[in-house]
Amino acid sequence: MVAERVYAAGELVGVLTTEPLGRILDYKAPETGCGDGDFVEVPLGPRRVIGVVWGKGEGKFDPARIRSVIRVLDVAPMRAELRSFLARAADYTITPMAAMLRLATRAPGLGDPPSMRKVYRLADTIPNQMTDARFRVVEALRRFAGASVTLGELAEEAACGPAVVKGLVKLGVVLEQDAPRDLPYPRLNAAGSARLAGDQVAAGDALVALVAQGEYSGTLLKGVTGSGKTEVYLEAVAECLRQGRQALVLLPEISLTQDFIARVEARFGAKPAEWHSGVTMTERRRLWRMVGQGDASFVVGARSALFLPFQDLGLIVVDEEHDTSYKQEEGVFYNARDMAVLRAAIVGCPIVLASATPCLETWANVEAGKYGRLDLGARFGAAELPQMRAIDMRPEKLPSDRWISSKLVAEVQARIERKEQSLLFINRRGYAPITLCRACGHQVGCDDCDARMVEHRFLKRLVCHQCGATKPMPVVCPACGVEGRMAAVGPGVERLAEEVTALFPQARIAVLSSDLFGSARALKEQIALIAEGAADIIIGTQIVAKGHNFPLLTLVGVIDADLGLQGSDLRAAERTFQLMRQVAGRAGRAEKPGEAWLQTYQPEHPVIRAILGGDEEAFWRAEATERRAAGVPPYGRMAGIILSSPDVAQVFDVGAELARRDDPLRRVGAQVFGPAPAPIARVRGRHRVRLLVKADKSVALQPALAEWVAQIKLPANLRLSIDIDPQSFY
Ligand code: ADP
Ligand code: ZN
């Protein structure tokens, strides 16, 4: 790594801004001088923008026209480590540097001086003279649970005007206080001793030793849900904190529960700093600043936490490393797991990838000796991995509006009698996936996308899951005009809830689907209530598959284990395998043993058999053999190119031209497939065409790709995005 340079007043410096200019701009260093990585404010045309000093100026421009840096901001400079991470990640994902810098500066008010502001809290007085709006404010403050909240944030959360809050301040129900904008996070106490048992001890020791070494290493921490992976990696975090360094734990957004935060608090005596979409802007700014000056030692966050300006990162953990939500598929296309490995390698710190069902890439890296592997065998305490069995649906002959087999009904009934919980899993949001006219067979589709509209009875509307467009439920068929024949076809989570209510009228039923909750916080609260036993039957979509702990749960019923086996996605088998095992892993986490039943029409399918047989290694080996033979990831390189435009002819023309001018790709032995209509051929009124590029593992694909797409001048309304290592093939 190059030495950090300091520039005297007037010297030329290069400044990278978040403006999409495609290059670094030259400025003169300010009176105070500046250094590499300093955050600065610079003039750009008539505006002032924020940027980072990115080395020496090029000096290619007319010196007379070069302007001066206005000032150096009062925040920690961006370290060389983060600068080279951004540059390498930009190269890997073929992303402009300005867009990378935007990812790394996602905190408001970076240029503002430290200052005070008003924050609001609940007083101890008993509220009276309450209106609906006032109640919402009180409720909102309860949800914030003492976290600093500003007037704007509070009014937004309570969906009321600021005057309502001010009224409550007058009444003494709400307190208005001055607080410094950014406070350091409480120190965590890492001294407490571990409570590891069995093979957790060896795994914990191994990770602690790696952290103590303080070099790059990659480790897969593998164990079924409930085996104590979190417990073990928190010991690695403890060692990192004892070294006085910072630790980052990445979780899929939805697993960032109060349950997890409470565990950290129990272990370390204080909460970690949180970074995810539910965090207020004020807290974001505070965290971003504090992490940069070393006053936040443990960050727990969603994928974008990877771009925080850590002062001295000593450990990264990626929990649920197989989770598809680590892949960002809009704006900058990146996989946070892979980028986390890159950052760890650049920083020179250990990275731990934790999962019950690692993805094939990680499994292959272990096989190739690039990662170490630590296994946690039995689940902690008495709980065992649940028994998994199939229910063959073919002889069931259920009516077309019912999906729960008699066997599963009996199992749920038995749980209700024993006061245990059951989970019914269906990976489909909404009420019914298809709305069909029984007179003409027309299926209601989205006007702007090539997708069917999904009925959401809860919203009383049809919703497009591609673009979010909604329309009212039609009474008259939009195609044939016949009235009263529109029918819901197929099950969604809401419709399953109806069937369950009819079957078990006495049971308390909770439906967990991301779109039924106004906010991530509301969802988390619901999950906490369920964990305490507030429901007999939980009906859930994919979100229940993520690491929640439901101690009373002893039965999991998978309504349609075949869903996901269809389709042409190269990862379909892997996904289904992971999802089913994750869902099944929900059962029997505490002392009660669990059972999982998979309803399937294909009990002989290899994936279903691998799930039931529990022979994971066999599944991975078979999957690896197939992918190696096909030359696809992780044994080959792939990139997806998506072209989109409102003009269908244009998008195909440009696609065809790209395919024709494939010299830069051919030179490195890469092949291009397509153009073909993308599996979802129209989204938000834009036609989409896809090209796929395949190359050998050893090929440096990115420079060839960059050269290839640069040959073509894109029409203004055509968008091109490059997705390296595409996850989904849409
Ligand atoms: P995983 O991350 O693999 O799902 P966790 O670390 O969440 O597993 O452990 C599952 C449950 O078992 C948690 O409630 C945890 O507190 C408990 N647990 C795990 N290991 C221990 C231990 N050694 N002593 C006490 N409780 C433990
Ligand atoms: Zn749509």
649-664 pLDDT tens trace: 899 999 999 999 999 9
CA-proximal residue: ligand 1, atom 23 (nearest):
196
Q: Are 249 and 300 in contact (CB under 8 A)?
A: yes
Whether the CB of 380 sits within 6 Å of ligand 1:
yes
Ligand number with the minimum distance to the CA of 453: 2
Band of residue 383 on the pLDDT scale cut at 50, 70, 90? very low
**pLDDT tens column, 574-628:** 777 777 777 777 676 556 778 889 899 988 888 788 878 877 787 888 888 888 8
Residue 400 dihedral angles phi and psi, to the nearest 5°: -70, -10
Report, in this order, helix, strand and coil percent for the chain, each rounded to 5: 35, 25, 40
SS (H, E, C) 284-338: HHHHHHHHHCCCCCEEEECHHHHHCCCCCEEEEEEECCCCHHHEECCCCCEEHHH
In this prediction, residue 568 carries a pLDDT of 54
Cα 261 to middle of ligand 1, angstroms: 14
Average pLDDT estimate for 471-497? 91
Ligand number with the minimum distance to the CA of 267: 1
Whether the CB of 225 sits within 6 Å of ligand 1:
yes
**pLDDT tens column, 207-224:** 999 999 999 999 999 988
**pLDDT tens column, 500-523:** 999 999 999 999 877 766 666 777
Q: Can you give the C-alpha Rg of the chain in angstroms?
A: 27
3-state SS assignment for residue 663: helix
Largest CA distance in the chain: 84
Q: Which of 576, 572, 602, 598 is nearest to 587 (CA)?
A: 598
* Mean of pLDDT over the chain: 87
Whether the CB of 228 sits within 6 Å of ligand 1:
yes
**pLDDT tens column, 526-567:** 888 888 899 999 998 877 766 567 888 888 898 988 876 665
Cα 586 to middle of ligand 1, angstroms: 13
Q: Are 353 and 222 in contact (CB under 8 A)?
A: no
Q: In what order do the strands lie in the sheet with 217-223?
A: 273-275, 298-301, 246-250, 313-319, 350-355, 217-223, 372-376
Q: Relative to the CA of 547, which ligand 1 atom is closest? A: 4
Q: What angle do CA 105, 700, 320 make, to 5 degrees?
A: 50
Q: Relative to the CA of 227, which ligand 1 atom is closest? A: 3
Cα 644 to middle of ligand 2, angstroms: 15
Q: Relative to the CA of 194, which ligand 1 atom is closest? A: 23
3-state SS assignment for residue 614: coil
CB atoms within 10 A of CB 397: 6
Residues 6 or more apart from 395 whose CB is under 8 A from it?
Answer: none
Q: Cα(588)–Cα(578) distance, rounded to whole angstroms?
A: 18
Ligand number with the minimum distance to the CA of 222: 1
Q: What angle do CA 719, 720, 721 make, to 5 degrees?
A: 125
Whether the CB of 231 sits within 6 Å of ligand 1:
yes
Q: Cα(347)–Cα(306) distance, rounded to whole angstroms?
A: 12
Q: Which residues of 676-710 are buried (b: 16+ CB within 10 A; e: fewer)?
A: ebbebbbbeebbbbbbbbbbeeebebbebbeebbe
**pLDDT tens column, 403-458:** 999 999 999 999 999 999 999 988 888 898 889 999 998 999 888 877 788 898 87
Residue 545 dihedral angles phi and psi, to the nearest 5°: -75, -15
Residues 6 or more apart from 128 whose CB is under 8 A from it?
Answer: 171
569 versus 643: the higher-pLDDT residue is 643
Cα 150 to middle of ligand 2, angstroms: 36
Whether the CB of 197 sits within 6 Å of ligand 1:
yes
Specify the amino acid at residue 419.
Answer: K
Strands 6-7 vs 34-35: parallel, antiparallel or unpaired: antiparallel
Q: How is residue 186 annotated by DSSP?
A: P
Q: Cα(663)–Cα(643) distance, rounded to whole angstroms?
A: 19
> With a threshold of 0.85, does the pTM exceed it?
no
Q: Are 274 and 308 in contact (CB under 8 A)?
A: no
Q: What angle do CA 274, 79, 252 make, to 5 degrees?
A: 30
Q: Which of 678, 697, 703, 698 is nearest to 688 (CA)?
A: 678
Cα 300 to middle of ligand 1, angstroms: 18
Q: Relative to the CA of 225, which ligand 1 atom is closest? A: 4
In this prediction, residue 470 carries a pLDDT of 84
Ligand number with the minimum distance to the CA of 449: 2
Whether the CB of 229 sits within 6 Å of ligand 1:
yes
**pLDDT tens column, 220-247:** 999 887 789 999 999 999 999 999 999 9
Ligand number with the minimum distance to the CA of 224: 1
Which helix (H) or strand (E) is 554 found in, with range?
A: strand 553-558
Q: Cα(292)–Cα(75) distance, rounded to whole angstroms?
A: 8
Band of residue 7 on the pLDDT scale cut at 50, 70, 90? very high
Q: Cα(621)–Cα(584) distance, rounded to whole angstroms?
A: 22
Ligand number with the minimum distance to the CA of 448: 2
CA-proximal residue: ligand 1, atom 9 (nearest):
228
Residue 678 dihedral angles phi and psi, to the nearest 5°: -65, 150
CA-proximal residue: ligand 1, atom 15 (nearest):
228
Average pLDDT estimate for 330-335? 88
Q: Relative to the CA of 224, which ligand 1 atom is closest? A: 3
**pLDDT tens column, 46-104:** 999 999 999 999 888 787 889 999 999 988 899 999 999 999 999 999 999 999 999 99
**pLDDT tens column, 133-143:** 888 998 888 88
Cα 267 to middle of ligand 1, angstroms: 12
Is the pLDDT at 686 greater than 50? The verdict is: yes
Average pLDDT estimate for 184-195? 83
Cα 382 to middle of ligand 1, angstroms: 12
Is the pLDDT at 183 greater than 60? The verdict is: yes
Length of the chain: 730
Ligand 1, pocket-test mutation among 230, 231, 379, most atoms within 8 A of CB? 231
Residue 494 is encoded by which pair of tokens?
Answer: 């809401």
Is the pLDDT at 278 greater than 50? The verdict is: yes
CA-proximal residue: ligand 1, atom 16 (nearest):
231
Cα 681 to middle of ligand 2, angstroms: 11
Contacts 24+ apart (CB under 8 A), 325-332: 325/252, 325/253, 325/254, 326/250, 326/252, 327/727, 327/728, 328/303, 329/723, 329/727, 329/728, 331/99, 332/93, 332/95, 332/99, 332/100, 332/103
Whether the CB of 67 sits within 6 Å of ligand 1:
no
Residue located via tokens 């298809």: 434
Is the pLDDT at 33 greater than 80? The verdict is: yes
Whether the CB of 355 sits within 6 Å of ligand 1:
no
CB atoms within 10 A of CB 389: 12
In this prediction, residue 457 carries a pLDDT of 84
Ligand 1, pocket-test mutation among 380, 384, 583, 591, most atoms within 8 A of CB? 380
CB atoms within 10 A of CB 622: 15
Specify the amino acid at residue 57.
Answer: G
Ligand number with the minimum distance to the CA of 468: 2
Cα 639 to middle of ligand 2, angstroms: 25
CB atoms within 10 A of CB 61: 12
Q: Are 216 and 349 in contact (CB under 8 A)?
A: yes
